[in-house]
């Protein structure tokens, strides 16, 4: 009986811990993460204070923080080839990182770090030098900056069969030296690294290549981490928010269900299917059952996105900034529909898969510059600064905890729906106009369409819609309109 009680206690403790790791630790009603891909720490700190906090963003996913190999031409993916756990990259040093985390936390913006627990750098001829000056010999699995030696890695092998669990989890992903997370020593170094970031005030981690590590090893590592730092405004006993990169198209040997009990999981099918729909390959009417009805993870377990730094560079259905009208429409639907833990992308311009972030002649990352409209210049795209996207972050905040209701469609790709009595979205992805009196569910009054304009000094700079006592308003979205979407909410009443 005593043994049973102890087992039950341990089981309940483990369940409680995993549930805590699904909590993003957001402030107030904020509920959208932005990935400021390859931004410098000092620039992120300023962006938190000057732009993200005033517009209601909840958190920032930052690029890997630990020292990486230096690759010719400085492609973005060199950040995913670690050489030590020293906090020195082209984004800045540890002091600058710590300052950024503190300043962002002070204005209610949480920081989530993209962490590399699966591997170290791949083969490099001779001695490699990292961004912090550390030397290593990756071909010999020698990383004295940690230190790691060959005994800390799985034996080298190539992944040739993605249906072979052993290969997926113990061979080398694209030649990257595969750490043995079952080793007590390796576990201790990974825990030490993550705990240091927690001490500095981060709120959680995006775990790169999670499916390439056994879930039981990750469970041990996550469960061994310190609680979040209360000096940065976290409650006592709060746990790091975990979201794990697991690519699962529904027929994988290693499935997302092995990881969703440990934290959230990146729902790649969301990205692919929303791209299919807004590219016109699927009628939008089918989105009424979006989410779990499409075979996706449950809402509280799914990290959702239109595109990410990897798949935006691939060919296929995934949308990116290069299809701006469809991208804005898909993002508006993403942030309006009550499903998932939302993340939006903030990119830099690229011509090919390896394009580095904007840099000067000395290969230093340059800071974004801003135009009169607040958008980014000099090679940065900054989708999060597009009015049509940051306005939907405000919409998502305004309608938080409300249900979807009053779905309407034309039997094809014109749709609308309400979020309680607080918000309304309409989308036209047909080649003819949407002109219809529709139920907005909003209290009577005049509302500013936050897609086409903003509410400034009580006046709307774009379209406005008058809602009658029954909650109905006349909605017009022309087939050739710049954005193809209209959004109203209670905080944008004229």
The domain 404-492 having CATH identifier 2.60.40.1180: the answer here is yes
Domain ranges of the chain: 17-266+348-381, 404-492
404-492 matches 17-266+348-381 in CATH topology: no
Token pair in block for residue 65: 């923080």
Token pair in block for residue 22: 């699904």
| pLDDT confidence of residue 15 | 54
Token pair in block for residue 490: 């209670």
Catalytic residue ranges? 208, 245
CA end-to-end distance (rounded Å), the chain: 66
Q: Which residue has the tokens 């992308």?
A: 345
Q: What is the pLDDT of residues 34-69, one digit of tens each?
A: 999 999 999 999 999 999 999 999 999 999 999 999
| pLDDT confidence of residue 20 | 86
What is the third-level CATH fold of 17-266+348-381?
TIM Barrel (3.20.20)
The CA distance from 191 to 52, in Å, is 30
Please tell me whether residue 414 adopts helix, strand or coil conformation.
strand
| pLDDT confidence of residue 17 | 64
Number of neighbours of residue 442 by Cβ within 10 angstroms: 22
| pLDDT confidence of residue 123 | 82
Residues in the chain, pLDDT under 50: 3-13
């Amino acid at each position: 009986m005593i043994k049973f009680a102890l087992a039950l206690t341990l089981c309940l403790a483990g369940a409680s811990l995993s549930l805590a790791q699904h909590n993003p630790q957001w402030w107030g009603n904020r509920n959208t993460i932005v990935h400021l891909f390859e931004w410098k720490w000092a620039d992120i700190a300023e962006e938190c204070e000057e732009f993200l906090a005033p517009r209601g963003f909840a958190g920032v996913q930052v690029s890997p923080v630990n020292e990486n190999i230096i690759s010719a031409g400085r492609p973005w993916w060199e950040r995913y080839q670690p050489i030590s756990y020293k906090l020195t990259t082209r984004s800045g040093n540890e002091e600058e990182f710590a300052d950024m985390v503190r300043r962002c936390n002070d204005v209610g913006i949480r920081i989530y770090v993209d962490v590399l627990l699966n591997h170290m750098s791949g083969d490099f001829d001779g001695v490699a030098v990292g961004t912090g000056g550390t030397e290593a010999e990756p071909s010999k699995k020698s990383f004295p900056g940690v230190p790691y030696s060959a005994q800390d890695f799985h034996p080298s092998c190539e992944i040739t069969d993605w249906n072979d669990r052993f290969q997926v989890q113990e061979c080398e992903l694209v030649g990257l030296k595969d750490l043995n997370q079952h080793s007590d020593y390796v576990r201790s170094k990974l825990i030490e690294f993550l705990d240091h970031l927690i001490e500095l005030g981060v709120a959680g981690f995006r775990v790169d290549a999670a499916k390439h590590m056994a879930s039981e090893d990750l469970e041990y590592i996550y469960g061994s981490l310190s609680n979040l730092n209360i000096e940065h405004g976290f409650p006592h006993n709060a746990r790091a928010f975990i979201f794990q990169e697991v690519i699962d198209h529904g027929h994988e040997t290693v499935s997302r269900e092995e990881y969703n009990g440990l934290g959230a999981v990146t729902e790649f099918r969301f990205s692919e299917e929303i791209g299919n729909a807004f590219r016109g390959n699927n009628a939008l009417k089918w989105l009424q059952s979006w989410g779990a009805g499409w075979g996706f993870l449950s809402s509280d377990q799914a990290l959702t996105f239109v595109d990410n730094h990897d798949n935006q560079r691939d060919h296929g259905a995934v949308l990116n900034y290069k299809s701006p009208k469809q991208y804005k429409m898909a993002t508006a639907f993403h942030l309006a529909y009550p499903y998932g833990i939302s993340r939006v992308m903030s990119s830099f311009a690229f011509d090919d898969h390896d394009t580095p972030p904007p840099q000067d002649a000395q290969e230093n990352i340059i800071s974004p510059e801003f135009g009169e409209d607040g958008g980014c210049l000099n090679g940065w795209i900054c989708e999060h600064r597009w009015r049509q996207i940051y306005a939907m972050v405000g919409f998502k905040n305004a309608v938080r905890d409300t249900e979807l209701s009053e779905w309407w469609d034309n039997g094809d790709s014109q749709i609308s729906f309400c979020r309680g009595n607080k918000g309304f979205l309409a989308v036209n992805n047909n080649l003819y106009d949407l002109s219809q009196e529709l139920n907005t569910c909003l209290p009577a009054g005049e509302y500013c369409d936050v897609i086409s304009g903003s509410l400034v000094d009580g006046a709307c700079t774009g379209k406005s819609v008058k809602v009658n006592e029954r909650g109905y308003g006349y909605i017009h979205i022309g087939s050739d309109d710049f954005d193809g979407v209209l959004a109203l909410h209670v905080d944008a009443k004229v």
